[in-house]
């Protein structure tokens, strides 16, 4: 194994870490803190370009070392997740300088941001439970600190504390589950878990129930990460308290990290015990989308509303696990991508308004259509996309996702109860339209102050980027959907 090969394969991660490490030095040397943002942008944009030219363009193949180093693997599955993380990273970094202008220690902010994204990509690349756990922790600890970045604000400090305690608890559960799995399978390699467990079930009595217990622990541990009901209580408080760009990162990227882990472990490692968890996760999925949407209806704070809406979105993506077909995984990956753009876009609109002194209450959006036509239009499109109105990205991915449930239920030999997932999904989409449309109503149909709002420039660029992608992925998603299908194939082909 040549050291250079490894370097080549994981160069993007190394670059992210490198830039994170030099960030404090840059902070020391440069008075204009926007330099930091551009420095943070550099490795992210480089990574994004490399990913796009690899996954969609097909112009370039990453040098994959042979033999594999075993713990991390670059494949299309990790590529799709990395795309989502990096895209959210770019959007968040772009809108940060204006938001945290008045704060000190900006170097740390960007360093933590880059480390968080590094951790997320490690989760996507991991083929081993321990490495996966390390990735979860790197991203998790960086996110705890980021949530508390606005030190002088009580809400921010509260959010960080809460997030830290809940995060620590969920890490402990996850780790406990991993150790149990090691006990019943004798391996921490995800792809090898299945066959090993199978052999163990036959040899040793009682191991099956240990595996089920471990699965329950894992659902709880990762359930906290993706804020699935009933492990969602922390999310609204944290998203509300954290600096808005960070909330965007948590909702649009951190959550996806949880899904990267879930998809891998459940669809790759735990297929042998699928009969034990598929109905349970199906119920959790339906509960998650329903509770998220119902509670979102009564929110008066836009960040809390978006938090509950992203809980609901997690419910939609969770459908993938019980369905488990390649098409469903493709739909899940597609939704991960589209959600990254529309949700981070929505948060950045809130951030842009906060920069201009507009509050976070939904009532503060009154008359926004007059005050800032661009921000109002962007918000409208993000929200309608989240609700799944065509021809926007959210519709396209929900379409694939829900139709995979229909597919699995009517296919010969399929499980007909899966149809209820699709039914719950569409009913929830209709429900969600109610609270999204209410924000649109505030913006266009109610009178507010007449004062125009100037759009903060860099945040505006970030919003425009998210907006273009939200429309593009809705109108022409052929290449991306094909990529998601191949990625789903690359994940499932290693199923024993």
Contact residues for other proteins, defined by CB under 8 A: 384, 389-391, 395, 399-400, 402-403, 406-407, 410-411, 422-423, 426-427, 429-430, 433-434, 437-438, 440-441, 444-445, 476-478, 481-482, 485
Residues 470 and 381: their CA atoms lie apart, in Å, by 8
Alpha-carbon distance 310 to 378, whole Å?
A: 18
> Minimum CB separation from other proteins for residue 433, in Å?
6
Say how many Å lie between the first and final Cα of the chain, rounded: 26
What is the DSSP code string of 11-44? HHHHHHHHHHHHHHHHHHH-SSTHHHHHHHHHHH
How far apart are CB 283 and other proteins at their closest, in Å? 20
Whole-Å CA distances, 477 to 77, 268, 338, 399, 482 = 17, 27, 10, 12, 8
For residues 169 and 417, which CB has a smaller minimum distance to other proteins in the complex?
Answer: 417
- C-beta closer to other proteins: residue 264 or 442: 442
State in angstroms the smallest separation of the CB of 328 from other proteins: 12
> Which residues lie below 8 Å from residue 330, measured CB to CB, with a gap of 6+?
400, 404, 481, 484, 485, 487, 488
Q: What is the closest distance, in whole angstroms, from the C-beta atom of residue 387 to other proteins in the complex?
A: 8
The pair phi, psi for residue 351, each rounded to 5°, is: -65, -45
**Shortest CA distance to 487 belongs to which of 197, 55, 6?**
55
Which of 253/467 has CB closer to other proteins?
467
Ramachandran bin of 330, using left for φ above 0, alpha for ψ from -120 to 50, beta for the remaining angles: alpha
- Least distance (Å) from other proteins to the CB of residue 311? 21
Give the residue with the Cβ less far from other proteins, 112 or 400: 400
How near is the Cβ of 98 to other proteins at its closest, in Å? 26
* Shortest spacing between CB 399 and other proteins, in angstroms: 8
CB of 331 to other proteins, least distance (A): 10
Which two structure tokens, joined as six digits, stand for 422?
Answer: 């699709």
Q: 333 near 484, Cβ under 8 Å?
A: yes
Please name the residues in contact with 384: beta carbons below 8 A apart, sequence gap of 6 or more: 392, 394, 436, 440
CB of 237 to other proteins, least distance (A): 29
Q: Which is nearer to other proteins, 206 or 412 (CB)?
A: 412
Residue with Cβ nearer other proteins (18 or 430): 430
Nearer to other proteins, 185 or 485 (CB): 485
3-class DSSP state of 301: strand
DSSP-derived secondary structure letter, 128 = B
User: Measured from the CB atom, is 217 or 440 closer to other proteins?
Assistant: 440
Cis peptide bond N-terminal to 391, omega within 30: yes
User: What minimum distance in Å lies between the beta carbon of 483 and other proteins?
Assistant: 9
3-state DSSP assignment of residue 67: coil
DSSP-derived letter for residue 366 is: T
Cis, peptide link before residue 230, omega less than 30° from 0? yes
> From the CB of residue 492, how many other CB atoms can be counted at a distance below 10 Å?
18
CB of 407 to other proteins, least distance (A): 4
DSSP per-residue letters across 305-348? HHHHHHHHHHHHHHTHHHH--HHHHHHHHHHHHHHHHHHHHHHH
Task: Tell me whether residue 236 or residue 367 sits nearer to other proteins (CB atom).
Answer: 367
Distance, CA of 385 to CA of 341 (rounded, Å): 10
């Amino acid at each position: 194994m040549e050291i250079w090969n490894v370097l080549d394969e994981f160069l993007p991660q190394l670059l992210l870490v490198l830039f994170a490490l030099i960030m404090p030095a840059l902070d020391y040397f440069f008075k204009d803190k926007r330099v930091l943002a551009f420095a943070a942008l550099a490795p992210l944009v480089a990574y994004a370009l490399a990913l796009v030219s690899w996954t969609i363009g097909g112009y370039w193949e990453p040098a994959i070392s042979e033999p594999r180093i075993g713990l991390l693997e670059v494949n299309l599955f990790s590529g799709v997740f990395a795309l989502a993380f990096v895209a959210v990273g770019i959007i968040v970094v772009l809108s940060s300088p204006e938001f945290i202008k008045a704060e000190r220690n900006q170097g740390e902010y960007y360093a933590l941001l880059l480390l968080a994204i590094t951790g997320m990509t490690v989760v996507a690349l991991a083929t081993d439970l321990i490495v996966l756990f390390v990735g979860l922790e790197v991203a998790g600890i960086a996110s705890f600190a980021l949530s508390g970045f606005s030190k002088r604000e009580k809400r921010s400090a509260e959010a960080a504390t809460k997030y830290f305690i809940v995060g620590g608890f969920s890490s402990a559960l996850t780790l406990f589950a991993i150790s149990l799995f090691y006990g019943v399978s004798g391996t921490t390699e995800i792809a090898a878990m299945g066959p090993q467990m199978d052999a163990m079930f036959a040899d040793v009595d009682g191991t099956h129930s240990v595996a089920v217990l471990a699965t329950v622990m894992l659902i709880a541990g990762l359930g906290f990460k993706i804020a699935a009901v009933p492990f969602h209580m922390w999310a609204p408080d944290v998203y509300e308290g954290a600096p808005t760009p960070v909330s965007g990162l948590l909702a649009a990227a951190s959550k996806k990290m949880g899904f990267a882990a879930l998809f891998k472990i459940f669809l790759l490692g735990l297929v042998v015990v699928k009969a034990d968890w598929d109905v349970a996760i199906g119920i959790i999925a339906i509960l998650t989308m329903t509770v998220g949407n119902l509670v979102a209806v009564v929110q008066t704070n836009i960040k809390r509303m978006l938090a509950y809406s992203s809980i609901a979105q997690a419910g939609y993506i969770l459908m993938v696990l019980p369905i488990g077909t390649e098409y469903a995984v493709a739909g899940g990956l597609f939704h991960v991508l589209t959600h990254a753009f529309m949700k981070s876009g929505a948060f950045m609109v809130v951030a842009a308004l906060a920069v201009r002194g507009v509050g976070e209450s939904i009532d503060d959006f009154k008359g926004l259509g007059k005050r800032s036509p661009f921000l109002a239009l962007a918000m409208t499109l993000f929200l309608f996309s989240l609700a799944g109105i065509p021809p926007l990205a959210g519709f396209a991915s929900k379409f694939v996702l829900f139709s995979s449930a229909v597919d699995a239920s009517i296919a010969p030999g399929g499980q007909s109860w899966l149809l209820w997932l699709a039914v719950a999904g569409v009913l929830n989409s209709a429900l969600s339209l109610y609270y999204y449309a209410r924000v649109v109503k505030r913006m266009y149909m109610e009178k507010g102050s007449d004062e125009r709002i100037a759009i903060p420039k860099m945040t505006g660029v970030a919003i425009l980027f998210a907006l273009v992608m939200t429309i593009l992925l809705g109108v022409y998603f052929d290449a991306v959907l094909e990529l998601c299908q191949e990625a789903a194939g690359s994940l499932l082909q290693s199923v024993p």
